[in-house]
């Protein structure tokens, strides 16, 4: 029999409101609306489908204060993470949001009305207190604290929800079970004892061993229940991860394990989040929940120290296990013993026995460089999926971003580099020449700092998309401001390589080389805010290469750039 939901009743608002959904949909067309953020969308889905039972809406101030202060709702039930609907002062004024007002909540992807919120109160949260109490420190190095201060808006709306429809999903639909559906699935399979495994990372042999051990020890079946909502910034995308999980599932004994995807927006809240995760799994009908080392940990704080201890999450879940109502399965790390060809819990390794492990950093290095990944660490089918999504450097895209004054020689070097890379013929090469980019992307913009920054952002977006597709992008704007260049780097390097090349040709030489007379026109006042004359050029302090065309030929400059790319493995031998 499936576990009893938290609070005794599964709050599946889709079932509760099924007979009035068409009426609610028509009403929503007449109401003021709030377009949800990605995190709010994840939270809404789990409120509406019962994953967040006993919640039936976003927290009002009384519930919010109780959760922040002592991990309890106003009715006394255990709840550890604030589930809030944050809005701005402008939204409140525009929609006249006030108690008793009804608000339609819209999907940000297509503006479909998903639910109606009846407002109970509007309140301003104490964000510093929330950071300290919920996440352990008011430190912006924590992703949830950073979200709280820099992304979340200043007010919260509390109130109850009525369900119109669920958010549409177009990926892995067969593996997306609501709590009601998963409970029915367990009943069909006649599963009465179920161990759930939470993950936001790819799974390898060690994870398979860990989960099988948990199921065997508890005489239970296994639910692989990964998060596919929002996870830690920098995590591997959920498409890749789900392909990994699907490749791994046949490695379990037949009938032992099932895969279900959880649309949760993680907060990386460590101990409190572990309790929250356990309550969510209880609502899905699970009887046991694995809490591992540093569960939902965000890493290091601004002082370089881990936010939470490695077993803090296990300690807190154990402390509240009777209220959670689910058996907590604590597991430490397992490590591989080559002598016996098996995985052993790290705390059970006999003294003097050799063990092997590959860290996440080392795995990423092997993927980037194309080095082999041993079968004792991961299955070939899993490695194949990871290599498809994370090809070695010589198959990844990159951007070479030139910056320098007008007529500094950057366009000549950029064109010569394009020819040289085309000679390699290993990837498509696109040159975003400054004059063409201006005309095609930013023809309406002038030369104020704001307009220049917008122009660079647009070129960075295009270069980022080319880089993501595995191409080589060459960008050659003036790009006079550090902030815009750094933003371009951030946009592009999440997809591949980024090289900032400063063409440091002196202004006097640039004026001599200016065959179009642009500098002379600027001196006469015909062109305003001209970089190098009456507008500043901020010399880069983080250029990967600096070139002065008065001291280096175009050929030499291109050769030095090629050497940079070869050193990092983007071109040359695999």
Distances, alpha carbon 566 to alpha carbons 59, 394, 520, 546, 562, in Å: 54, 9, 40, 17, 6
The pair of structure tokens assigned to 443 is 């023809």
- In 63-154, at which residue ranges do the beta strands (DSSP E only) sit? 85-87, 102-106, 113-123
Task: List, as one string, the DSSP characters of 257-294.
Answer: EEE--B--B----HHHHHHHHHHHHHHTT-SEEEE-TT
Residue found by looking up tokens 């101030």 in the block = 61
The pair of structure tokens assigned to 467 is 């880089």
Give dist(CA 152, CA 86) in Å, integer. 6
- pLDDT (0 to 100) of residue 573: 60
The mean pLDDT values, 10 residues at a time, for the chain of 574 residues are: 90 98 98 97 98 98 98 98 98 96 97 98 98 98 97 98 97 97 97 96 94 94 96 88 97 96 97 98 97 92 95 95 94 86 87 88 84 94 93 92 95 96 89 78 84 94 96 96 96 95 96 91 87 92 96 96 94 70
282 CB-near residues (< 8 Å, 6+ apart): 3, 4, 5, 6, 289, 324, 325, 326
* Catalytic (active-site) positions: 199-201
| Listed residue (75, 79, 161) closest to 120, CA to CA | 161
Task: List, as one string, the DSSP characters of 354-396.
Answer: --B---HHHHHHHHHHT----TTTS-HHHHHHHHHHS--GGGS
Give dist(CA 407, CA 421) in Å, integer. 23
| HEC-encoded secondary structure of 213-241 | HHHHHCCCEEEECCECCECCCCCCCHHHH
Which residues are registered as beta bridge partners of 356?
336
- pLDDT (0 to 100) of residue 240: 94
Which residues are registered as beta bridge partners of 553?
none
- pLDDT (0 to 100) of residue 49: 98
| Listed residue (83, 151, 157) closest to 117, CA to CA | 157
Give dist(CA 75, CA 69) in Å, integer. 14
pTM across the whole model: 0.86
Cβ–Cβ < 8 Å for 194, 221: yes
């Amino acid at each position: 029999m499936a576990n009893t939901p938290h609070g005794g009743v599964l709050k599946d608002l889709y079932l509760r409101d099924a007979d009035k959904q068409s009426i609610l949909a028509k009403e929503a067309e007449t109401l003021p609306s709030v377009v949800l953020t990605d995190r709010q969308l994840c939270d809404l889905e789990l409120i509406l489908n019962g994953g967040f039972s006993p919640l039936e809406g976003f927290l009002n101030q009384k519930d919010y204060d109780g959760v922040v202060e002592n991990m309890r709702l106003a009715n006394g039930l255990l709840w550890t993470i604030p589930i809030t609907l944050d809005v701005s002062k402008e939204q409140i004024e525009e929609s006249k949001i006030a108690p008793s007002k009804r608000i339609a909540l819209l999907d940000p992807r297509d503006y479909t009305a998903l639910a109606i919120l009846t407002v109970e109160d509007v309140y301003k949260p104490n964000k510093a207190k929330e950071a300290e109490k919920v996440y352990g420190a008011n430190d912006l190095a924590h992703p949830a604290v950073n979200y709280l201060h820099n992304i979340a808006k200043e007010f919260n709306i509390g109130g109850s929800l009525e369900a119109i429809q669920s958010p549409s999903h177009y990926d892995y639909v067969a593996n997306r079970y609501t709590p009601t559906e998963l409970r029915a699935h367990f009943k069909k399979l006649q599963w009465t004892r179920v161990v759930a495994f939470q993950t936001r990372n790819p799974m390898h042999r060690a994870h398979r061993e860990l989960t099988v051990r948990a199921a065997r020890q508890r005489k239970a079946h296994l639910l692989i229940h990964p998060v596919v909502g929002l996870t830690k910034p920098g995590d591997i995308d959920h498409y890749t991860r789900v392909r990994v999980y699907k490749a791994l599932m046949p490695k379990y004994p037949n009938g032992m394990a099932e895969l279900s995807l959880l649309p949760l927006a993680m907060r990386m809240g460590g101990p409190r989040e572990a309790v929250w995760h356990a309550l969510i799994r209880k609502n899905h009908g699970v009887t046991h929940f694995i809490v591992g080392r540093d569960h939902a940990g965000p890493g290091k704080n601004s002082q370089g120290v881990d936010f939470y201890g490695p077993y803090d999450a296990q300690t807190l879940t154990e402390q509240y296990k009777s209220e959670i109502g689910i058996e907590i399965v604590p597991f430490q790390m397992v490590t591989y013993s080559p002598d016996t060809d098996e995985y052993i819990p790290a705390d059970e390794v006999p003294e003097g026995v050799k063990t092997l492990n590959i860290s996440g950093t080392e795995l990423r290095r092997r993927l980037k460089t194309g080095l082999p990944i041993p079968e004792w660490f991961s299955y070939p089918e899993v490695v194949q999926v990871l290599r498809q999504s994370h090809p070695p450097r010589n198959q990844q895209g990159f951007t070479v971003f030139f910056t320098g004054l007008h007529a500094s020689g950057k366009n000549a070097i950029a064109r010569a580099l394009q020819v040289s890379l085309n000679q390699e013929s290993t990837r498509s090469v696109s040159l975003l020449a400054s004059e063409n980019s201006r005309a095609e992307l930013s023809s309406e913009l002038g030369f104020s700092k704001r307009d220049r920054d917008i122009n660079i952002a647009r070129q960075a977006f295009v270069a980022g998309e080319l880089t993501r597709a595995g191409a080589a992008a060459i960008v050659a704007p003036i790009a006079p401001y550090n902030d815009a260049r750094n933003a371009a780097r951030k946009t592009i390097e999440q997809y591949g390589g980024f090289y900032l090349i400063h063409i440091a040709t002196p202004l006097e030489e640039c004026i001599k080389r200016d065959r179009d007379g642009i500098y002379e026109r600027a001196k006469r006042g015909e062109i305003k805010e001209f970089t190098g004359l009456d507008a500043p050029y901020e010399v880069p302090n983080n250029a990967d290469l600096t070139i002065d065309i008065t001291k280096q030929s175009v050929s030499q400059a291109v050769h030095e750039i090629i050497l940079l790319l070869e050193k990092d493995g983007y071109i040359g031998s695999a």
